[in-house]
Amino acid sequence: MRGFFGIIAVIQGLGGFVGRVWFDTEWGFVGRLVELPLAAYPGLAAAGLALLVWADHDRKNRES
């Protein structure tokens, strides 16, 4: 489940950042819910990556 939320967070973070920087529009669902500063979108993507790494680490620990 963490991996799923991690993927969603990465997509929302990168999409929101790209949309605001290059196209001057809000992309993704997060921009519709809350007003985030531009610097928060890469942070959201980094949090998603951290969730993905955590989920992968747990999966590897269960396999061994």
CA separation for the pair 15, 41 (Å, rounded): 8
Q: Is pLDDT of 62 > 90?
A: no
DSSP 28: S
pLDDT, average across residues 30-47: 91
CB-CB neighbours of 31 under 10 Å? 17
- Enter the pTM of the model: 0.84
Residue type at position 56? D
pLDDT score of 14 more than 80: yes
Instruction: Name the DSSP class of 64.
Output: -
Name the pLDDT band for 6 (thresholds 50, 70, 90): very high
